Structure 1
Amino acid sequence: MSDPKVEYPGAETAAGPGEAPRCARRRPRRWPGRVVRWAVTAVLLAVLPFILLVRGGVFAYQQWGLGAWSSLAVSAAAAALLLAFYAWAASRRLGAGKRLRKFATRVAVLAAAAFVLYSLLVVAGGNVKSEEVRAEYLGLHPLLRMAVSVFVLADADAVITDAARTPEFYARAGLPSNESSLHFRQDDGFVHALDLRTLNRPEWRNLAAELAFRAMGFHTLRHVGTADHLHVSLR
């Protein structure tokens, strides 16, 4: 005659002496996956405003036919609204009151506006080859200036070696003057190209720079003219 069995809730998870419960043994395995998901989510949330700001502006400029400032205004507004939503959602999740949520959203919008204004007007001295190139920065297309500022956040050692050029520049360098060069001022009054330094930099960083600007919607070309450099342009 077989022994009677008594079933009770949780019997399948019960463990013998010195043996950890099955549910406890499974939990550690889930943490690596959760950490990876959280990390990926955090990176995507952090990058998305910059994608809207630069890639969104390039899309509006090239696909919708908007002007330089109109394209930037559309993309900057979209990025600011996204940051405002982040601030509102975060403050609400933390249990903040209505006034604090409004304050947080306003701060987020002001932060976005400050970044755009700074990017349009300022380039650090360490990110340009010379004061002459620094003076040419304001002549670059606004979306190019945005892209440079965003890229410098990830690569603080990036250096602009050339921006605006003139026929005299090509004559001094012993090169034929290319009238279609996007380094010349275009019909909208802006220069649509710049060159980034590639010499004395790890090749993986040069490749990363090329991929980053392509991802932001710009045309890139690694070539040797007066020196090896990465040409970035907005068509």
Structure 2
Amino acid sequence: MTAYAAWVSHRLTGRVNVLVLVRRVALPLVLAYCGYALIYLSSGNAKSDQVRAYYGSLHPLLRVVLSTWILVDKDILITDLARRRTDYAAMGMRPNDGSLHYVQGDGYVHAVDLRTRGRSEVKDRLVQLYFWSAGLGTLRHVGTADHLHVELPLR
């Protein structure tokens, strides 16, 4: 963004002040995008209204990284975010005391599940590579259905 703004500035004025462009163009755009990513999740990317309702409980870093991928892959579907101990019994599974789907000590959920059914293996691997490159843990597994589990590890 800054490079494009510098090119436009050079074409219009013949000068480029990168620091001013960063402060007046790039920084406001980045802040606006991060604000959008922290607040909004389209219903087309959430399996249910409950998933959308819990979006605010997801760790902010996970929300920004997830929203950035949604810009690239509009078909990504979030199937699960926050869980309670009783949710595991309802799914026919044993409770997992170490689940990052529970609200953690910092007040946020540190895991999200993404649907893989009906998507190509290549696309799923690209999604996995993206989240891994952002420093997040990924695990494709079957709990109640085949999905990609993405987590922000506790340190």
- Picking from 209, 217, 220, the partner of 2:127 is 209
Cα separation, 2, equivalents of 1:213 and 1:176: 27
Equivalent in the alignment of 2:92: 174
Is contact 2:5-2:25 (8 Å) kept?
no
Q: Which has the higher strand share?
A: 2
Matched, 1:96 2:50: no
Is contact 1:91-1:100 (8 Å) kept?
no
Cα separation, 1, equivalents of 2:17 and 2:128: 42
Cα separation, 1, equivalents of 2:21 and 2:110: 38
Deviations 1:12-54 (A, max 9, x none): xxxxxxxxxxxxxxxxxxxxxxxxxxxxxxxxxxxxxxxxxxx
Equivalent in the alignment of 2:103: 185
Equivalent in the alignment of 1:121: 39
1:174 shift after superposition: 1.4
Cα separation, 1, equivalents of 2:117 and 2:21: 46
SS at match of 1:222: strand
Equivalent in the alignment of 2:3: 86
1:107 shift after superposition: 3.0
Is contact 2:77-2:114 (8 Å) kept?
yes
Cα separation, 2, equivalents of 1:152 and 1:170: 28
Q: Which has the higher helix share?
A: 1
Matched, 1:163 2:60: no
SS at match of 2:129: helix
Is contact 1:88-1:105 (8 Å) kept?
no
TM-score of the superposed pair, with normalisation by structure 1: 0.60
Sort the Cα spacing of 1:226 and 1:122 in 2 relative to 1 into closer, same or farther, 3 A.
same
Largest Rg, 1 or 2:
1
Equivalent in the alignment of 2:60: 142
Deviations 1:138-184 (A, max 9, x none): 00000000111110111010010000001111011111111110000
1:207 shift after superposition: 1.0
- Picking from 30, 34, 39, the partner of 1:112 is 30
Cα separation, 2, equivalents of 1:182 and 1:175: 16
TM-score of the superposed pair, with normalisation by structure 2: 0.89
Q: Which has the higher contact order (CA 8 A, sep 6+)?
A: 2
Cα separation, 2, equivalents of 1:87 and 1:205: 30
What is the RMSD of the two structures over their aligned residues, measured on CA atoms?
2.1
Cα separation, 1, equivalents of 2:30 and 2:129: 25
One-letter code aligned to 1:96: T
Cα separation, 2, equivalents of 1:203 and 1:195: 16
One-letter code aligned to 1:231: H
